[in-house]
Amino acid sequence: ITGCLKPGDELVVACPVALKGTSVIAKNKKDKLAERFSAGFIQNCISLQDDYGAGSIVWKIAQEADASALYAMGEGGFLSALWKMAEASEVGLEADFRKVPIRQETIEVCEIFDLNPYKLQADGAVLIGIRGGEALVQRLRNEGFMAEVIGQTNSGNDRLLYSGGSARYLERPAEDELQQLLKE
């Protein structure tokens, strides 16, 4: 984690989550995926991790925009990153799952294996805390990156996740979904 979230920061996710996890599953579970998907779809899933990269461009743009905090997602995925960043910064938050950038391929692969895509390895995606998140999102989109404001931090302790009309508390991260699947 670079920096520290402050109450009132908007939470921005740059680049789709779970690309690395989707790619690893496609490489290691081709036979199972081939029962339902074409070879082209599977190859596309394998190459997903190469499509996006947080790289220096996202970091540089976020830093130039005066981001409070940056976190390169990885093992444990989006939910782990959200937990770790909020915990380290001692802030509460509210975030909307429906706004998190995610590829349709990831959702379909996760459905086959009954995995939570928000817990999948998410190398290449970045969680950013910043004032004026919409301006950063527009700048990132202009550079060709998927990005969305997904929520906001607050001075409380509650960490709430919304999806449609329902809300639940963010839980301490467990083992990466990908590691569980690869053990099977």
3-state secondary structure 83-110: HHHHHHHCCEEEEEHHHCCECHHHHHHH
3-class DSSP assignment, residue 175: coil
Residue from 78, 72, 77, 74 nearest 57 by CA: 72
Alpha-carbon gap, residue 77 to 74, rounded angstroms: 6
In this predicted structure, the answer to whether residue 181 has a pLDDT above a threshold of 80 is no
The helix (H) or strand (E) run that includes residue 147 is: strand 147-154
In this predicted structure, the answer to whether residue 173 has a pLDDT above a threshold of 90 is no
In this predicted structure, the answer to whether residue 54 has a pLDDT above a threshold of 80 is no
- Give the per-residue pLDDT at 158: 94
Query: How far does CA 89 lie from the centroid of its chain?
Result: 18
Contact (Cβ atoms closer than 8 angstroms) between residue 135 and residue 51: no
Average pLDDT over residues 62-81: 94
Mean residue pLDDT of the chain comes to 92
Buried b / exposed e over 129-145, threshold 16 CB at 10 Å, is: bbeebeebbeebeeeeb
- Give the per-residue pLDDT at 160: 95
Average pLDDT over residues 2-24: 95
- Give the per-residue pLDDT at 84: 94
The helix (H) or strand (E) run that includes residue 51 is: helix 39-51
Residues 6 or more apart in contact with residue 66 via CB below 8 angstroms:
130, 131
User: Position 39: which residue type?
Assistant: A
In this predicted structure, the answer to whether residue 128 has a pLDDT above a threshold of 80 is yes
Position 177 confidence tier, pLDDT thresholds 50, 70, 90: low
Q: How far is CA 103 from CA 72, 117, 177, in A?
A: 18, 10, 17
